[in-house]
Amino acid sequence: MFRRLLAGALLLALTACAQGTHTPAGSVAVADFGSDVQHAARDRHQKRGAVRYGATAAATSANPRPDWCSYSATGNVACIQTATAVASAIGERVYANGGYSSGQTLSSPIANGGSFDGNQTVGNVGSVLRTLSAHLNDQTNILDYGAVAGTADSSTALGVAMAAAQANGSVVTIPYSTSGYMLGTAGSYTVKTPGEWDFRGNVISGPGIGTPNTGGGTLLSPYTNPWLITAYRKRIYDPAARPQLGNETTVAESVECLPNRANASNANTSRNWIACRYVGADTGSGGTSSTDISTEIENWVLNVSGNHGVGFEIDTNFNAAVTDGQWTTGLFLTGGGPAGTNVNSVALSIMHAAYDGTDLPWTTGISIRQATTMLEFQNTRAGETGYFQRGYDSAGITLWSVDKAGNLVSAGGATLASFLHAPSITINGTTFSTLATCSSSTLGQERTVTDSAVNTWGTTVIGGGTYSILAYCDGANWTVAAK
């Protein structure tokens, strides 16, 4: 009997403390423990149970559960906790709904929904902790600034995103959408703004891209050629803004390879071919006389606006003697294809005209200096036909030509000496049997014959003799022109 009275008194004291005006550790009531904790009744003879609050947990748990026993189950007075112990246990807990805490360590949490303020630092990246916001700002995504795919105007979002990218030096990324994007404000972009854009192949329309179809493109177009539209990646550099220390040259971007060398890991250790850069394209098919489909691998533009410049420079520096017996080439134009696949083609085409199509020629088409052989032509097989050189007038009529047999034909009656501006001309000798058949197509040709049987001027040349004469084709026969 005495034991019951003592237990009831202790339980009543516990309940009174929990219901009082002073609630330690963040205004927590006994009701927060759940249905197993009950208010003590006025009847001291009625048993009321204190709760056993969860399973046993180690002291190092992130949110440990008190290992309290149940008085109602055991009848053990020691199971009844004091108000101080209850309040302390409550104060160290984080509410499952609507709770908050600071300085907590979360191990492998799963967060569904909600939001982060971006001030969380991210570890295991480099040696300096940066916030989540700082890491995300390394890339500028226009969706983060209010852009919307489709027909909604994203001009304002693009402008704010570009300003952010300018501030942190990041790439302006436009995530791909099948709906594309629309820029309704023409002034949302400056064509000479330095930066980098990743368009991801999006179809972007509206006044914000200018009028590339009339040479007034802006966002998607290079400022040096506003007729073009960039589909994927665009970069604008400003190397002139970088200070120089002396006589160096500032480059916007550099690509280089370390020296080539034998590689013992190769299957063929006696061969190691490399290339620092490869750019390729395929013209595809489907073009017709009425369907123009054109492909360029690279398009280089230099706008001369007052200062001189070089459109393309290739430096081949001889820093040591070549020991493998091969040729070193500054510019190599080559190719291939199935035999017999002949197309209209030009290996190197040089032209220049004004924007309206009127005459604006190069001062010099090709300038060759400091070369042992200035210009060299070579047949690759015997009997090869064609020309080493040909010249045309504006109507496409041949003015002069040098065929692959070495025959020079000049229109207008010019002498060879005056035509070539040379003090003398040497016509290499050949045997009569190797001469082309004299006909209307070879009329006027002259050749040195080293085995003529006759040497009288005007007589028909016959081979098999010992005379060296100058033979002339009169359209029917080779005749002696000089001896």
- What is the reported pLDDT for 248? 94
> Which of 74, 23, 66 is closest to 47 using CA atoms?
74
Q: Is 162 exposed, middle or buried (0-12, 13-18, 19+ CB in 10 A)?
A: buried
Mean pLDDT of 286-313: 94
- Tens of pLDDT, residues 229-276: 999 999 999 999 999 999 999 999 999 999 999 999 999 999 999 999
- Tens of pLDDT, residues 59-103: 445 456 677 888 888 888 888 888 888 777 776 666 667 667 777
Distance CA 250, CA 304 (A): 19
Distance CA 136, CA 130 (A): 10
β partners of residue 181: 204
- What is the reported pLDDT for 94? 65
Would you tell me how many other CB atoms lie within 10 Å of the CB of residue 365?
Answer: 9
How sure is the predictor about 366, in pLDDT bands with cuts at 50, 70 and 90? very high
Mean pLDDT of 41-63: 40
- What is the reported pLDDT for 254? 95
- What is the reported pLDDT for 204? 97
Mean pLDDT of 2-21: 42
Mean pLDDT of 400-422: 65
Produce one character per residue of 77-98: b if its CB has 16 or more CB atoms within 10 Å, e if not. Answer: eebbbebeebbebbeebeeeee
The yes-or-no verdict on residue 15 having pLDDT over 70 is: no
Question: How far does Cα 109 stand from its chain's mean position?
Answer: 38
- What is the reported pLDDT for 452? 95
Whether 31 contacts 59, CB under 8 Å: no
Whether 199 contacts 176, CB under 8 Å: no
- What is the reported pLDDT for 400? 83
Percent of the chain as helix, strand, coil, to the nearest 5: 15, 15, 70
Q: How do strand 195-198 and strand 204-205 relate by DSSP bridges?
A: unpaired
- Tens of pLDDT, residues 316-340: 999 999 998 899 999 999 999 999 8
Mean pLDDT of 216-235: 94
How sure is the predictor about 424, in pLDDT bands with cuts at 50, 70 and 90? low
- What is the reported pLDDT for 160? 93
Lowest mean pLDDT across 54-68, 162-176, 263-277, 385-399: 54-68
Q: What is the DSSP letter of 69?
A: -
How much of the chain exceeds pLDDT 90, in percent?
54
Q: What is the DSSP letter of 45?
A: T
- What is the reported pLDDT for 146? 96
- What is the reported pLDDT for 397? 84
Distance CA 271, CA 225 (A): 43
The yes-or-no verdict on residue 374 having pLDDT over 90 is: yes
- Tens of pLDDT, residues 341-362: 888 899 999 999 999 989 999 9
Whether 173 contacts 157, CB under 8 Å: no
Average pLDDT, rounded, for the chain: 82
- What is the reported pLDDT for 63? 55
- What is the reported pLDDT for 22? 39
Q: Which residues contact 6 (CB under 8 A, 6 or more apart)?
A: 77
